[in-house]
Chain A
Amino acid sequence: MEIKFSNRGSTLIAAFSGELDHHFAEYARNKIERELIKATTRDVVFDLTGLSFMDSSGIGVLVGRYVNIRKLGGRAAIICRNTRIKKILEISGVLKLMSVHDELDHALRALSTA
């Protein structure tokens, strides 16, 4: 499991790859939190396209970060094309918090108009 970061203006893009489960949840949380506290970050895109596996431990990581992003006045969106991961996002109510897109451009547009 790995997370690579890049920036588009004040939007942080966190690109996950590998398998996100409980074993890697704390690592993922700490890594993203370190980026969130940087003054340059306002909004965040969670790019899950590189994930080959995610279970409900991943939901905890995403929702936990979402709460902190909102506290700092930012917004968040998700990129995901994996149908199973999408289903987990849907049943756990994450879609009510963050919009899910197929492409980065769509996610960035959603954040700029939200």
Chain B
Amino acid sequence: MQPVNEMKLEFLSKSSNEAFARVVAAAFVSQLDPTIEELADVRTAVSEAVTNAIIHGYENRIGIITMVCRQYDKSVEIEISDEGAGIEDIEQAMQPLYTSKPEMERSGMGFTVMESFMDMVRVRSKPGEGTTVTLYKTFSSAGK
């Protein structure tokens, strides 16, 4: 299926860009006329994925994070990628409460939050090459 609309953003893995990425994703998604609740779902999930790229992907080195947003008829697909450490065991990483950085006060709930606020979350990763997280959501009021 061809997207109706698409955008791509690249930014440095600085923690101040967490808020920036949330705002950009929300602005793009606003074109589908989402509810305030749905918009907040997207902001939260994007924040989790971008934070993971910064903390776990680049481990606080500076690298480039790419965010691609695609709009279909009533749904969006948001792809957040880093070229950082990658994930050895994706299934384990997605378990609630699993974190590889407990000493940094990580809660291990990032993937669980993404999954509970979006319709679907897909993770592709290769150790040493990087990670791509894709968030999917269909909007109730879109296209009305």
- Seen from chain A, the residues whose Cβ lies within 8 Å of a Cβ on chain B are 19, 21-23, 25, 29, 53, 55-57, 59-61, 63-64, 83-84, 87-88, 91-93
Is there an interface contact between B105 and A56, defined as CB atoms closer than 8 Å?
no
In the bound assembly, the distance between CA atoms of A56 and B44 in angstroms comes to 9
User: Interface size bucket, B side?
Assistant: 20 to 34
Q: Dominant SS at the A interface?
A: helix
Is there an interface contact between A88 and B105, defined as CB atoms closer than 8 Å?
no
- Seen from chain B, the residues whose Cβ lies within 8 Å of a Cβ on chain A are 15-16, 18-19, 22, 37, 40-41, 43-44, 47-48, 51, 54-55, 96-97, 104-107, 109-110, 112-113, 116-117
Is there an interface contact between A22 and B54, defined as CB atoms closer than 8 Å?
yes
Is there an interface contact between A91 and B96, defined as CB atoms closer than 8 Å?
yes
In the bound assembly, the distance between CA atoms of A84 and B96 in angstroms comes to 18
Is there an interface contact between A55 and B113, defined as CB atoms closer than 8 Å?
yes
Is there an interface contact between B37 and A84, defined as CB atoms closer than 8 Å?
yes
In the bound assembly, the distance between CA atoms of A104 and B106 in angstroms comes to 28
**A23 touching B19 in the complex, CB below 8 Å, given contacts A29-B105, A55-B44, A91-B96:** yes
Is there an interface contact between B48 and A56, defined as CB atoms closer than 8 Å?
yes
